[in-house]
Structure 1
Amino acid sequence: MQKLKIAIITLITLLSAKTSLAQQYMKFSWKDLNIDYSAFAYLIDSENVIVRINSTQSGVLKLAEAAGKLRVHPGYSSKARVLEIGIGEVIYSKDNKMSGSFPAFRLFQENYDPVTNKVSGRSYVAQATKIAQKGYLSSRPDVKVQVYNKLSDVQQNVNAAAYFLKEEAYYKQFAKPSSPATNNNTSTNNNSGNKPAASQAATPVTVHLVLVGDTKDASIGESVKSDLIKMRSLFQNTMSVNKNIKFNIKEISGDQLISTNVENTVKSLTVGSNDAIILYYSGHGSNPKGSNSDFPTAAMIKSSYKLENMGNLVSNRNPRLAIVIGDLCNSVPRTRTALPDQPLMRSAPAQHDPARVAQLLIKAKGKIVSTSSSYDEYSYSLGNNGAFTNSFVDALTSAINSHSNMSATWDAVLKQSYKEAYNKTRDIVNKTGTKGQNGFYRGSVAYN
């Protein structure tokens, strides 16, 4: 049987009401049906789990990303801690064949005590689609788990290159530090390595990213969680290739999804004249007949918030760049519709260009309010994510690719996002008879 090695990177911070857990890292491995597996987990937020899946099949390396979450004593396994990992989307393949996906699965740790943070039972991995089968879980092979309490231990014992592209911030975090140069002739030029001059700006700027999402909704909550994870990773990890940008990320979700919390969060930001604010909303939206706006209203707990008013809220803080992005319906009140999962096709791994990131986040000045669908249209979820959000992440990632023909401008990114989202939904008929979702934006951005 073909040998398969899978490695998982999970980013979780477990906050327990009974105990405060120190940051931990786990490495675990197992073998099943002549298939060898290994995994690495970095414990950040129980509801926001970024998962990396690495496999080598017939000598071809593939790297995938999935969303996940940590559950303590869930109903289907009342004494276990369970790491729930969703379907993995391929983001890199050595042979550039980006099709396919990795299955969703679960890591079970039985007899978990949240007070002591210790596991006294066995650990095992199971495919998510099979856990309900009688006798399946009891037949799963044991998993060996190695726990690291220090980042330095991870750097010494875990090969970061197996899980991250070298231009990613997480690679730099987990990779073994290089030995200090001892040669007196070693260059100290900060622009060495042919880094674009634009990425070496002297004055750092702060990009305030405010993520707002209806993660507790019964119909689209899981999709919204995944949207927020993708957006956080896009800026915190991918865009951080430019070291002159500091990202300040705030999230408002779950029971905190209240309009006053959005206002208070934005108003509490310490905003410099050269800073940027990007506010992203994922959830339900509506635009009833008789509305005087082409933009929808975002649904929140016991309240709502017009997308246009979010734009005013952000721009009133007087940042250099104010961007508001919404993934929500723009019609009579209705659930953001879920569609069958569709695996995404992505290009080969980008060489993220700091100069292109600077063009979008440092050199850009202006205000934009964007919505994922036009008046009287629905916005759709494709499996784990919103159709627009997936398209936006792909478009922005493409725009900062050093080999891309796409302009590194907000106009190009948003128009490409709308185009991709429409192509994914163009066969779906809206209530008015139109097809698909057609996003648009208002505002303008100039570049220095």
Structure 2
Amino acid sequence: MKKQLLRRIGLLFFLFAFANAKGQSLYEIVFEASDITYKAFLVYFNEQDAYMRIGYTYKGKYNVVDVKYQSVTGQEDGYNYLVMVGSNPRFITNQEKGQSYNPDHFIWVWNDQNPNQLPYVTDDPNFDASHLIQCKSYIEIDPKTMTDSYLRQFFRTDEPEYQALRKMRDASAGAINYNTSDNNSNSGSSSNNNNNNTGSGKSKMHLLLVINTDIGDIGQSCAVDQKAMEVEFREIAKAVGMPFEKYIINGEKFTRDNVERTIKSMQVGNNDVVIFYYSGHGFRWSNQTDKYPQLDMRYSEYTPLTEKTSLPLSAAAKAITDKGGRLNIILSDCCNSDIGRNQMTSTTFMASRSFQGAEIQKLKKLFIDSRGSIMITGSSPGEYSWCNINGGFFTLSFIQALKEEIGYMRTGAPSWEHIAENAVRSTQYKAKNCNGCKPQNPVSAVRVSQR
């Protein structure tokens, strides 16, 4: 059964790759072919952006090749699969005349009964199942174990990536460990007592989560979104030494009145950071010109939809910014179609099992040294927002983009513009490669200055 599935996956992905020709995690993969042992160092950012450094010895000469990767996932015959297709091989070591390298492609196949299967590898662009070889090992790399001699198997010492990995290793051995693996979630509001002083005085982070957890069709996915966003921002506040207060509106408290009352009651200082996040249904009135959606503030589908049971995202954004905080982040993961509803799909995507840490100075650049507003909604007018059991496509993409921007392997200066662009691009990619999904193009506006 698995071999037949691999044949179909190969054909499907070959067609996919041909038609589209135009949160950082580290893994090591070892495989053998033609009596040559290959050791690969995989740096995975997201579905569209990953690369491997592949080291091997041929005719007594050690070679290292850099290969770019994109991935696609799916389900068939009770199995999940992930395919990573390689492209643009480039020699890092000296390339001799006539020397070439065919990019390797990797396939993972697993189900609940066989969750930890080793991947298969092939350099056949047609994915002929008879050419597939099962890898010898596939492990996640603990940064603390990355010695200089280990890294030199894959990187030159003058490369920025080499220096970034050494920095990641040294930070993981001590100092602050920013890690979003904590799955605890509480209702109500809470705060921590970390203090952060900037030029305008003490700064505090406020997180307002408006989550439709009780709605029958997507409530479970919305609850996943709530936990992910709460943990993410709470840990960021802790990492930069910023007091944190959360406000959660969900369950039967999920009403427009409660949102407006909560925003009015928030005590926001002029150096504070305020995040508003909505996960639920969204829609547009037939005569609406505003590009941002109406938030459907009903926890029961039997409640009539009126202006009193809905809230324009733009109105919520204005109420937040009028509080006078230094940095305002407005996010919504909902449909933007005529009386639309978020669409569920069974398609899943590769989610990194760990996050290898953030550079605290990058976090401070984004949350301490930034002033202005960021507003992003999950889809354009007339479009659905898609979700699955792991949460909304846009929410997953936003967290992914934020983690990429603050990671050690991103060597440029962090910016909210980059985060918004990458979140949009990743959402589009997820919808494009989802079985039965229609296009999803988030709308964003970033007006931020940094000191």
With normalisation by structure 2, the TM-score equals 0.53
CA gap 1:255/1:348 in 2 versus in 1, 3 angstroms: closer
The residue number in structure 2 matching 1:128 is none
- Pick one of 358, 369, 382 that aligns with 1:376: 382
The residue number in structure 1 matching 2:327 is 321
CA gap 1:316/1:352 in 2 versus in 1, 3 angstroms: same
**Superposition deviation, residue 350 in structure 1:** 2.5
Q: In structure 2, how many angstroms separate the alpha carbons of the residues matched to 1:229 and 1:101?
A: 26
Name stretches of at least 5 consecutive residues in structure 1 with no aligned partner: 1-96, 105-164, 173-198
The residue number in structure 1 matching 2:218 is 220
Q: In structure 2, how many angstroms separate the alpha carbons of the residues matched to 1:231 and 1:443?
A: 20
Name stretches of at least 5 consecutive residues in structure 2 with no aligned partner: 1-105, 114-174, 183-195, 304-308
Q: In structure 2, how many angstroms separate the alpha carbons of the residues matched to 1:100 and 1:293?
A: 44
The residue number in structure 2 matching 1:178 is none
Q: In structure 1, how many angstroms separate the alpha carbons of the residues matched to 2:109 and 2:219?
A: 25
The residue number in structure 2 matching 1:414 is 420
CA contact (8 A) 2:213 2:220 kept: yes
Aligned 1:396-407 pairs, distance under 5 A: 396-405=402-411, 407=413
CA contact (8 A) 2:326 2:372 kept: yes
Report the AA paired with residue 424 of structure 1.
Answer: K
Q: In structure 2, how many angstroms separate the alpha carbons of the residues matched to 1:445 and 1:246?
A: 22
The residue number in structure 1 matching 2:239 is 241
The residue number in structure 2 matching 1:284 is 281
SS in 2 for 1:416: helix
Q: In structure 2, how many angstroms separate the alpha carbons of the residues matched to 1:171 and 1:388?
A: 20
Report the AA paired with residue 211 of structure 1.
Answer: L
Say yes or no: does 1:436 pair with 2:434: no
CA contact (8 A) 2:197 2:203 kept: no
Deviations 1:260-286 (A, max 9, x none): 111111111111110011100000000
CA contact (8 A) 1:398 1:406 kept: no
- Pick one of 268, 279, 283 that aligns with 1:271: 268
CA contact (8 A) 1:352 1:401 kept: yes
- Pick one of 285, 306, 312 that aligns with 1:306: 312
Query: Whose helix proportion is higher, 1 or 2?
Result: 2
Say yes or no: does 1:395 pair with 2:436: no
**Superposition deviation, residue 341 in structure 1:** 4.0
**Superposition deviation, residue 406 in structure 1:** 5.7
Deviations 1:227-273 (A, max 9, x none): 00000011112552212x12111110110111111111111111111
SS in 2 for 1:219: coil
Q: In structure 1, how many angstroms separate the alpha carbons of the residues matched to 2:295 and 2:312?
A: 6
CA gap 1:242/1:100 in 2 versus in 1, 3 angstroms: farther
CA contact (8 A) 2:284 2:294 kept: yes
Q: In structure 2, how many angstroms separate the alpha carbons of the residues matched to 1:258 and 1:204?
A: 32
**Superposition deviation, residue 407 in structure 1:** 4.5
CA contact (8 A) 2:179 2:355 kept: no
Deviations 1:137-178 (A, max 9, x none): xxxxxxxxxxxxxxxxxxxxxxxxxxxx97037899xxxxxx
- How large is the RMSD of aligned CA atoms in angstroms? 3.2
Determine which structure has greater relative contact order: mean sequence separation of CA pairs < 8 Å that are 6+ residues apart, divided by chain length.
2
The residue number in structure 2 matching 1:145 is none
Q: In structure 1, how many angstroms separate the alpha carbons of the residues matched to 2:388 and 2:346?
A: 6
Report the AA paired with residue 440 of structure 2.
Answer: Q
The residue number in structure 1 matching 2:371 is 365
Q: Identity percentage over the alignment?
A: 26
The residue number in structure 1 matching 2:177 is 167
Say yes or no: does 1:445 pair with 2:442: no
CA contact (8 A) 2:347 2:435 kept: no
Q: In structure 2, how many angstroms separate the alpha carbons of the residues matched to 1:171 and 1:213?
A: 21
- Pick one of 210, 226, 229 that aligns with 1:231: 229
Aligned length: 263
Say yes or no: does 1:344 pair with 2:341: no
CA gap 1:439/1:385 in 2 versus in 1, 3 angstroms: same
- Pick one of 245, 250, 255 that aligns with 2:252: 255
CA contact (8 A) 1:216 1:254 kept: yes
Deviations 1:170-216 (A, max 9, x none): 899xxxxxxxxxxxxxxxxxxxxxxxxxx986854101010111101
CA contact (8 A) 1:322 1:366 kept: yes
CA gap 1:226/1:318 in 2 versus in 1, 3 angstroms: same
CA gap 1:298/1:221 in 2 versus in 1, 3 angstroms: same
SS in 2 for 1:233: helix
SS in 2 for 1:280: strand
With normalisation by structure 1, the TM-score equals 0.54
**Superposition deviation, residue 290 in structure 1:** 1.9
Report the AA paired with residue 262 of structure 2.
Answer: T
